[in-house]
Amino acid sequence: DQQVKQNSPSLSVQEGRISILNCDYTNSMFDYFLWYKKYPAEGPTFLISISSIKDKNEDGRFTVFLNKSAKHLSLHIVPSQPGDSAVYFCAASANSGYALNFGKGTSLLVTP
């Protein structure tokens, strides 16, 4: 049972434009949400997170938005750069310090 869903397997964006990656979750107990970035042959690397008490968190070019009523979060990358091309995983957890539930990932391609 997939509790975290990323319904877009892939996304292509031009350099300089905004990339928007979406994620939906079904478990209302989730209270901490994260985005990870993964390059081929490497482990996922942490990108940005948000707690359920917030609806927005920003870190440089990356912003995560959380809509708890819709059980939806999104990652905005502005401006997108070719080096951002990677697979992005959305993850969520309930009860701090417990395991993360991951989506299947969205492959982002940023073209020059």
Partner 1 sequence: DSGVTQTPKHLITATGQRVTLRCSPRSGDLSVYWYQQSLDQGLQFLIQYYNGEERAKGNILERFSAQQFPDLHSELNLSSLELGDSALYFCASSVPGSDTEAFFGQGTRLTVV
| Residues of this chain that bind partner 1 (CB under 8 A) | 2, 4, 6, 32, 34, 36, 41-46, 49, 51, 89, 91, 96-105
**From CA 108, how far away is CA 87, in angstroms rounded?**
6
Q: What angle do CA 43, 48, 51 make, to 5 degrees?
A: 125
Question: Least Å distance between CB 101 and partner 1?
Answer: 7
The amino acid at residue 48 is: I
**Which is closer to partner 1, CB of 36 or CB of 85?**
36
**Which is closer to partner 1, CB of 45 or CB of 67?**
45
Question: Least Å distance between CB 87 and partner 1?
Answer: 10
**Which is closer to partner 1, CB of 43 or CB of 112?**
43
Cβ-Cβ contacts under 8 Å for 3 (sequence gap 6 or more)? 25, 26, 27, 30, 92, 101
* Cis previous bond, 82, omega within 30: no
**Which is closer to partner 1, CB of 27 or CB of 79?**
27
Cβ-Cβ contacts under 8 Å for 11 (sequence gap 6 or more)? 19, 21, 106, 107, 108, 109
Question: Least Å distance between CB 81 and partner 1?
Answer: 22
Question: Least Å distance between CB 54 and partner 1?
Answer: 11
